[in-house]
Amino acid sequence: MTTSDQKITPWEVAAAGGVDYEKLMRDFGAQAIDAALIARIERATGRRAHVFLRRGLFYSHRDLEAILEAHEAGRPFYLYTGRGPSSDSLHFGHLVPFMFTKYLQEAFDVPLVVQMTDDEKFLWKGHSLAEVHKFLIENVKDIIACGFDVQKTFIFSNFAYMGHMYPLVVQIQRLISAHTAAAAFGFDDQANVGKWAFPATQAAPSFSSAFPHIFGGRVDVPCLIPCAIDQDPYFRVTRDVAPRLGLLKPSLIHSKFFPALQGHHTKMGSSDPNSAIFLTDEPAVVADKVKKHAFSGGGATKEEQLAHGANLEVDVAYQWLRFFLDDDDRVDDIGRRYAKGDPTMLTGHVKQILIDTLNDMIARHKKARAQLTDQIVATFMAVREM
Ligand code: TYM
């Protein structure tokens, strides 16, 4: 969607001075996640809410109440998320929805489908089919390494699974006019026709009828989609067509963008390797990137930091730690000392805590990934009863 001063689409995030998330939510017609909703999630799951919810990274939703009502009444629902395989390695921004989805799967004990949009990346990025396939396998391994339950997780390539959902895809295509697609996605008459058709393919997994092997042909199992807010245009269109097909509108839970190392005004992206930390980065590379590129809200000199303290709002190292350190007391303590200019918590200290935290997460991820065999990957991707 383009508003006066920000343009957020699945392919482009442009917002001079930073994304205004509240405005985006209002413009998109989504709802805020407030303390009462978080408390309801905690009651429904019987566990503390995920740190991404408690600290406002997942901040907006559509019809999340409908999902909670279903769960509270003992009715099933399922989770749907995805990844466009356009590079060898995921970065921490990509990891956000998958870490959160893992929590949702565990907390609600529900099935998950993960769409790998190899077709989308072929149509948009100019990669060869062979390259996209290679990225797909690498990315699937990164996703599995987040810890999903193989008994309840189906990961599929669009190229491989399309035959199963094509009848549903064309039903959706028939309801999306070129006019609607141009308005929602900004396509113009230079866009290849594959792009125009693609949104129906990302819409289809929002309906349980796309997965007869999981839902036994049921068309009424509600769907919850965790994603960053850039994916919302796909699902606004999906929610518009759902009632016309006699199907349920999917619910959504949106995150903000995980900020680039350079700061909040921009999102972490693969196109600028210095904006992102990748799961393949070696410990020394992580240290170097954080030290050189993480925007600091601290004083320009040690003296200034001691005199005035740091601006936590804009300090990237502190903001990232808020999302990765679950321990409230520890985060508060770091923030309090850093903000007031305590000599034991200077910018270098905060950056070092972040470096250690990231390297620890990457090491655990690499270890989990190294244990994956081709057989395990094939099992996650097999069309099978669950
Ligand atoms: P992709 O591969 O661009 O991104 C994968 C997921 O990561 C989210 N994301 C981010 N989240 C937080 N901070 C960031 N900096 C950041 N960058 C990306 C995206 O919102 C997405 O959730 N077309 C999709 C694939 C897809 C999909 C879906 C995603 C198919 N079906 C259903 C979500 C839900 C894509 O190319 O995602």
| Ligand 1 pocket residue status of 268, Cβ below 6 Å | yes
Torsion of CA 145, 147, 150, 154, to 10 degrees: -70
Class of domain 20-256: alpha beta
Whether 364 contacts 144, CB under 8 Å: no
Position 17 scores a pLDDT of: 75
Position 274 scores a pLDDT of: 84
Class of domain 269-370: mainly alpha
Q: How confident is the model at residue 270 (pLDDT cuts 50, 70, 90)?
A: confident
**308: pLDDT strictly greater than 70:** yes
19 vs 265, residue with greater confidence:
19
Of 111, 124, 57, residue with least CA distance to 84: 124
pLDDT in tens, 123-148: 999 899 999 999 999 999 999 999 99
Whether 338 contacts 345, CB under 8 Å: yes
pLDDT in tens, 134-185: 999 999 999 999 999 999 999 999 999 999 999 999 999 999 999 999 999 9
Position 1 scores a pLDDT of: 47
d(CA 231, CA 28): 11
pLDDT in tens, 366-386: 999 999 999 999 999 999 999
**5: pLDDT strictly greater than 80:** no
| pTM of the predicted structure, to 2 decimals | 0.96
Label residue 69 exposed, middle or buried (CB < 10 Å: 0-12, 13-18, 19+).
middle
Q: How confident is the model at residue 203 (pLDDT cuts 50, 70, 90)?
A: very high
Q: How confident is the model at residue 232 (pLDDT cuts 50, 70, 90)?
A: very high
- With the most atoms of ligand 1 within 8 angstroms of its CB, the residue from 13, 94, 100 to mutate is 94
Position 235 scores a pLDDT of: 98
Position 4 scores a pLDDT of: 53
Average pLDDT in the 86-104 region? 94
Which ligand 1 atom sits nearest the alpha carbon of residue 228? 20
Which ligand 1 atom sits nearest the alpha carbon of residue 258? 13
**120: pLDDT strictly greater than 70:** yes
**2: pLDDT strictly greater than 70:** no
Which ligand 1 atom sits nearest the alpha carbon of residue 269? 15
- Domain boundaries defined on the chain: 20-256, 269-370
Q: Cα of 227 to ligand 1 centre, how many Å?
A: 6
Which ligand 1 atom sits nearest the alpha carbon of residue 257? 13
Of 300, 304, 322, 305, residue with least CA distance to 313: 322
Q: How confident is the model at residue 44 (pLDDT cuts 50, 70, 90)?
A: very high
Q: Cα of 333 to ligand 1 centre, how many Å?
A: 33
